Structure 1
C-alpha cells in the first residue's frame, strides 16, 4: 500500500470515529486549505476524493469533533519537567488518577491525549495554562492526526482506548482564567471578544499557518503586531491572543526552515508588545452595530 493510500485510510478512520478532518501540506503540520475548521469533514466521499489526489497529512479539527486534546510536550532544557510528568503531578495534587484515553505519540516524543467534551461545554485553546509544556486544543484548534508523517517521524497511535470524558478537575482548571499579566498599557482581560476582534484573530492565525517558506518570521511578526493592536485596544485578551498565535505558529516549526519554538515565542512576544503601543479601536460600523 502506498503512503498516499495509508494516509487516506487514516483520514477515513478518523471520520469513522466522528472526528472532522482536513488536509495538511504533505510531510507538514501546515493546513493545505484556508478556512480549515469550516471545511473539516467526516464525509467519506469528500475525504476519499481529497486524499485520492495527494499524500496529504491529516489535520483533525478539535472543535467540530467535540474533543479537548491535551498536548504534552517534551522538556527542552536540562532539569525541565516534561508535559506528561507535569500532568501526572497535577492529578496527584488532587488525589486523582488520569483515566486511560486515546493517545497519540508525536515525532518529538510528546503525547496527545484525547478527551470528549461534556454536552454544551465549549473550550478554547490554551498554552501553558495547565502547566509549562502543556497546551490544549479545542474550539478553533487542531492537532495532527495519527498516520501523518513529518521528516523527523510519524504520529503513531500509542493507546487506542476510546477517548475518555474530560475529567471534571481538568475542566475546572481550564475554565479558570489565569491572572492577567501586568502591562504598561494597563489592559485587563477581555471576557468575550467582539465578533470583529475574534474574526480578525482567526484571519491573522490563518495567515500565519499559510506563511510561505522564507517568510515565516515576517508573516508571524506582522500578525502578532496587528493582534497586539487589538489587545492594546482592549478588544482581545492578551493570553488568549498569545495562545492562538502560538498554536498557529506550530505549523511553521520544521526542520526545513530552522524555525524553533523559542524563536516563535520571541517573535510573537515582540510583535504583541509593539502592537500594544498602537492600540486599535473598533471600526465605526461595528460601533454603530453595538450601539444599536
Structure 2
C-alpha cells in the first residue's frame, strides 16, 4: 500500500491522514505491519496477499492519495537509493496478512448476471417465421402476370413485423428479393418494389401502433 506525502505541504503526510480517516470511519485500527519510508517521505505498508483472491493495482480506490500494488504491480524495495535518499524500514519488520476489511474493499465486484431481455414481439417468433415462410413461398410460386403484385402484397404484409421489432428489415427484404428473382422478376424490379412497399408498410404500421420511427 502506497501512502505518499503531499508534496505541496511539508507539514503532514496527506496519504497517511486520509488512510487514518478511512480507518476511523470503518471502526478499524491503523494496521501495524512492515512499513517502509519512501524517498519522498511517504510510506509503503506491506501485507501478505490473501489466498484464492487475485488483487490488482488501485489508485485512490481506498482513499485519496492511497494507492495499492498487487498482481502486476511493483514498488521500490527497502534499501534502495532514490535521489540519494534511502528507502528505510520503519516500525514492525514482520509482514502481516491483509486485513479482511481492506481485502473486501479491494476485491472487484462480481458482475451481475442479468437475464437476457427479449423484446415482447419475439415471444411470437414461430408465428412470425411461419408468416415469413408463407409469403416467401407465395412469391416464389406466383404465376406470370401476378409476380410483382404478389411481391408487393408480401412486403406489405411482412412490413408490420419490422415495425413491431419481430423481424429486421434485412430478414424480410433479402428472402423476398431472392424469391422474386427466382419467380422471374429482375433484380431491379424486386429492389424497387420492396424498397417502396416496405417503407410504406413500416411507416404505416409504426403510426398505427404508436412506435416512433
TM-score normalised over the length of structure 1: 0.35
Kindly name which structure, 1 or 2, has the bigger radius of gyration based on alpha carbons: 2
| TM-score, normalised relative to structure 2 | 0.47
Q: Which of the two has greater helix per residue?
A: 2
